[in-house]
Chains A and B, each alone.
Chain A
Amino acid sequence: MNLHVSADIWQPIRLTLELAAITTVILMIVGTPIAWWLVRSRAWWKEAVAALVAIPLVLPPTVLGFYLLVALGPSGPGGALASLWGARTLAFTFPGLVIGSVLFSMPFVVQPIRNAFEAMGEKPLEAAATLRASPWRAFWTIAVPLASPGFLTGAILGFAHTVGEFGVVLMIGGNIPGKTKVLSVAIFDYVETSQWTEASVLALGMVVFSFCVILAMMLIEKKMSRTAS
């Protein structure tokens, strides 16, 4: 096969993978305590927090993107943060994209982890407590290994969803090559400017990638149900 695609096709791919990896790591760190709290807490407003976390599932990305554009800007908290190092805004920056992606992909990580913690039930932790394990130790030696399929699912979904993210980056990215021009925006650009070869190479790659992700999820699920029975 002899495909003549421009060399800069690799730049958005690299950038996207970087963004997805960083976002996933942050989401595992931030999402786990949130999921844990959502399972263990008895606060009456717990479900309100759960709903807030899940909002990006139904919110149009452009809505989130627009709010982010304002929030990251000079009159929002993002601008205040940026002024610490003399910048005016967090929009059009890689850290800005990370913030957007973390919010946008949050439900895809928190939900599977929460489900896994819930499926585990109270019993293992109660047993650990009677053996005088500290809650911290019980969490690391019992809860985390038992919920590991949930962590795996969350990581894969969070990563994949960030790779596929479009609306939010389009709104806050500014389309800067090497900095904010991610895969989905690059595909959109190529389509708009009738560069079909580049567009279809990237688009086909996304189809294959998505297929692999779904397949991986199904295999994990199958393995889980086998070990459970």
Chain B
Amino acid sequence: MRSMRFVTAVLCAAATLLTGANAFAASANVAVAANFTEPAKEIAGLFKAKTGHELVLSFGASGQFYTQIKENAPFAILLSADDERPKKLVDDGLGVAESRFTYAIGKLVLWSKDPNIVKGEETLKANAFNKLSIANPAAAPYGAAAVETLKALKLYETIQPKIVQGNTISQAFQFVDTGNAELGFVALSQLMPNAGGSRWLVPQSLYSEIRQDAVLLKASAGNEAATAFLTFLRSPEARAVIEKFGYALDPKSGT
């Protein structure tokens, strides 16, 4: 009899321990711009270890997410690759205005798998390649920045016939990574820590800053995991990860 009671007590305690940690944990769906894939995974891991909250991450093109959110996609947060779409979501009445902030500032890189191809803007001027891969400029800000850079260098007209477009920056990367395009404009974060090859960090003066904004969506304003994550994203811990992946930070956005 006594041993029975003991066993029951142990089982109860074990059950409490197992479920207790997650008793108050919530989960949130987060739409993540393709270029932020790796840092988002790492930050979500840290976030879960710290708060117990679970994040369900979806990766894709910001334009696609914007369209889906307008059609009530069940995302709590959008980590966009630009600042336009989060702003538009606020204007559309779908995003929480106060929640919007710049979580990262993207860096554009001209990259090739071949260690001898990319030497700087001279590589573009020399024009001795067949295909240049970029993200779709209409849907992805890194694509737009790539076009801006080419225009700033007055090379757009000549290089344009050689441009191939990936749907997202991940696909633009893939085209270079599989060797189908000799070089391409990708996000610096994609080359972290060691993609090899040759690269040229495009000077900021050639394209307008890629301010990547986060926004909380109104439908999920009460989601504890979502609000906690947005706070965590501004913490020094998360910002250290973001910086590690080659992004610049907006000093105003820290906690």
Contacts and interface: CB of A to CB of B under 8 A. Distances in A.
Interface of A: 69-70, 72-75, 79, 87-89, 91-92, 170-171, 174-176, 188-189, 191-194
Tell me which of A88, A91, A92 has the highest count of chain B C-beta atoms within 10 A of its own C-beta. Answer: A92
B139 A176 contact: no
A192 B63 contact: yes
Contact of B131 (A70, A92, A170): A92
Interface stretch (B12-20, B51-59, B161-169): B161-169
B213 interface: no
B138 A91 contact: no
Nearest to A70: B178
B28 interface: no
Contacts of A79: 179
A72 B164 CA distance: 15
B63 A89 contact: no
Contacts of A69: 174-175, 178, 180
Nearest to B129: A88
Given A174-B131, A192-B63, 9 more contacts: A69-B174, A69-B180, A79-B179, A88-B130, A92-B181, A175-B164, A192-B167, A193-B63, A194-B67
B130 A192 contact: no
Contacts of A88: 130-131, 179-180, 182
Contact of A170 (B130, B139, B167, B179): B167
Nearest to B63: A192
Contacts, number: 70
B64 interface: yes
Interface of B: 61, 63-64, 66-67, 70, 130-131, 133, 136, 138-139, 163-167, 171, 174-175, 178-182
B138 A74 contact: no
Contact of A174 (B63, B66, B70, B175): B175
Contacts of B133: 174
B134 to A, nearest CB: 10
A191 B180 contact: no
Nearest to B168: A192
Contacts of B182: 88
B64 A192 contact: yes
A73 B180 contact: yes
Contacts of B63: 192-194
A45 to B, nearest CB: 32
Nearest to A177: B165
Nearest to B164: A174
Contacts of A191: 64, 67
Which of B61, B174, B181 has the most CB atoms of chain A within a 10 A radius of its CB? B181
Nearest to A86: B130
The 8 closest A-B pairs by CB, nearest first: A174-B164, A175-B165, A91-B180, A192-B63, A74-B179, A192-B139, A73-B180, A89-B180
B136 A74 contact: no
A193 B139 contact: yes
A91 B139 contact: no
